[in-house]
Amino acid sequence: MTQKTVYYTATTLDGFIADPADSLDWLLVQDIDADGPMNYNAFIAGVGAIAMGATTYEWIRARITEGTEKWGYAMPAVVFTHRDLPTVDGADLRFVSGDVAAVHAELVAAAGGKDVWVVGGGDLAGQFADAGLLDEIVAAIAPVTLGAGRPIFPRRYALRLTDVARNGAFACARYAVLGPRTTDWSA
């Protein structure tokens, strides 16, 4: 199996990963089969390192502080941020800023032959794609719309559908990232 950099995420039907207040409440009430197609447990078993944006990290950390969640990652995590952020006890964390390409080789090495997971958000995944470093997007599409919020992938890219399945309430799709597109979609 070849190591990949994968953006694995959930989205609303209208293409948002979080609402305007950065809440994922819409996601946490959806029905999903933990052992079903494209499930999280099977995915995370193949992940050796993770990359996330500051907003995603702060959302997770807030839930840890509230006592509703624990740090759920045994592998190294790199958080892309321009701010000083508090750490989480027991987490293998590194805070970085700047170009994702400069950090990608370190993520691949830390992953030890397993995949690198771009946890979020959509703009961070787009930065990996812009650098030619994003191989796949795996999206679980929920039966809900938000009308506004954080877009799943705020870029113009061509993708190739490689797999599709239903898992509970979600339509799940796996895409190979082909490359950026402008107005010429014939290329």
Q: Is residue 28 part of a domain?
A: yes
131 domain residue, yes or no = yes
- 117 domain residue, yes or no: yes
What range defines the domain where residue 133 resides?
5-180
Residue 36 lies in a domain: yes
Residue 122 within a domain: yes
pTM recorded for the entire structure: 0.94
- How high is the pLDDT of residue 132? 97
CA-based nearest residue to 112, from 46, 53, 41, 176: 46
pLDDT score, position 130: 97
DSSP string of the chain, one letter each residue: ----EEEEEEEETTSEEE-TT---HHHHTS---TTSTT-HHHHHHTEEEEEEEHHHHHHHHHHHHHTS------S-EEEE-SS-----TT--EEEE-S-HHHHHHHHHHHHTTSEEEEEE-HHHHHHHHHTT---EEEEEEES---SSSEES--S-EEEEEEEEEEETTEEEEEEEEEEE--S-TT-
Buried b (16+ CB within 10 A) or exposed e, 146-157: beebbbbbebeb
Q: What is the pLDDT of residues 72-130, one digit of tens each?
A: 999 999 999 999 999 999 999 999 999 999 999 999 999 999 999 999 889 999 999 99
The model's confidence at residue 185, banded by pLDDT at 50, 70 and 90, is low
pLDDT value for 120: 83
The four Cα atoms 84, 75, 122, 20 give a dihedral, to 10 degrees, of: -60
Query: Higher-confidence residue: 41 or 120?
Result: 41
Query: Is 103 within a domain?
Result: yes
Please tell me the predicted confidence (pLDDT) of residue 183: 72
CATH number of the CATH domain containing 34: 3.40.430.10
> Total structural domains in the chain?
1
Q: How confident is the model at residue 1 (pLDDT cuts 50, 70, 90)?
A: low
- Per cent of the chain over pLDDT 90 is 91
**How does pLDDT run across 5-16, given as a tens digit for each residue?**
999 999 999 999
Task: Please indicate, yes or no, if residue 54 is contained in any of the structural domains.
Answer: yes
Whether residue 92 lies inside any domain: the answer is: yes
Which tens digit of pLDDT belongs to each residue from 117-163? 999 889 999 999 999 999 999 999 999 999 999 999 999 999 999 99
- Note the pLDDT of residue 186: 64
